[in-house]
Amino acid sequence: MTIKQRLADIQQQIQQIPHPQEVTVIAVTKYASDEVLSEVIDAPILNIAENRVDQLLERQTRYPQATWHLIGTLQTRKVKQVINHIDYFHALDRLSLAKEIQKRANKVIQCFVQVNVSQEATKHGLAVEEVVQFIEEIQKYDRIKVVGLMTMAPHTSNDAVIRQCFATLSALRDHIHQANYSHAPCQYLSMGMSQDYHIAIEEGATHIRLGTTLVGPQ
């Protein structure tokens, strides 16, 4: 199947899920070849995510017309290389990183705060209870705008557990959104990957990050 066909299939599935919110499909091309990436652009899918700084920079130079999302942990020392070349950052998870972004950014950076809802030791992100305080602490950094929250569901085949994770993030987003922080409108929810995007959309996802099912080998 071509990327175009896979996208059409996914869009059809999304339409069958009851949801009031608009959903942006982000193609996660971290494992995709350059050939596949060019198919993605032609499909067209113009929201693209990478988790490695070098690969993002190289590809962003070739396709500046796309909207570029950086996902995955960002080392503080790499901030200055990449931060002014992306449209969205999905992994803001610590004060030291916020401070470095403030120092290196020459525009306002649209960030998702990453939350480790499931509290798995292998995952990055703030605990649910830490998020409000974190958002208040970064108010002083005027180069950071918190546009939403991001999470990854736990590794499990138990749909109820996955749903609970997404529902928790959604409630936290509502809470922050309603607080009306000028630096943190927090209107978006980046959650849902190939295996669980149906559940994520039902729970309010506005941005789903699809690797395997959209651009992976099949």
Ligand X SMILES: *Cc1c(COP(=O)(O)O)cnc(C)c1O
Residues forming contacts to ligand X in the complex (CB under 6 A) are 28, 30, 51, 71-72, 152, 193-195, 209-213, 216
> Among 216, 212, 171, which Cα is nearest to 192's?
212
Residue of this chain nearest to ligand X (CB atom): 211
Given the complex with ligand X, which of 141 and 169 has the nearer CB atom? 169
Decide whether 6 or 143 has the Cβ nearer to ligand X: 6
Residue 184: CB minimum distance to ligand X, A: 21
- Minimal distance in Å, beta carbon 93 to ligand X? 12
CB of 196 to ligand X, least distance (A): 8
Q: Do 91 and 78 form a contact (C-beta atoms < 8 A)?
A: no
Query: Which CB atom, from 119 or from 195, has the smaller least distance to ligand X?
Result: 195
d(CA 131, CA 206): 19
Closest CB to ligand X among residues 72, 185: 72
Query: Shortest gap between Cβ of 89 and ligand X (angstroms)?
Result: 12
Least spacing, CB of residue 182 vs ligand X, in Å: 28
Task: Locate the DSSP E strands across the chain.
Answer: 24-28, 47-50, 67-70, 88-92, 109-114, 144-150, 188-190, 207-210
Residues 58-61: contacts with CB within 8 Å, 24+ apart? 59/29, 60/85, 60/86
Cis peptide before 44 (omega within 30 of 0): yes
Angle at 164 (CA atoms; ends 10, 90), nearest 5 degrees:
60
Instruction: Considering the complex, state which of residue 141 and residue 173 has its C-beta at the smaller distance from ligand X.
Output: 173
CA distance 151 to 162: 11
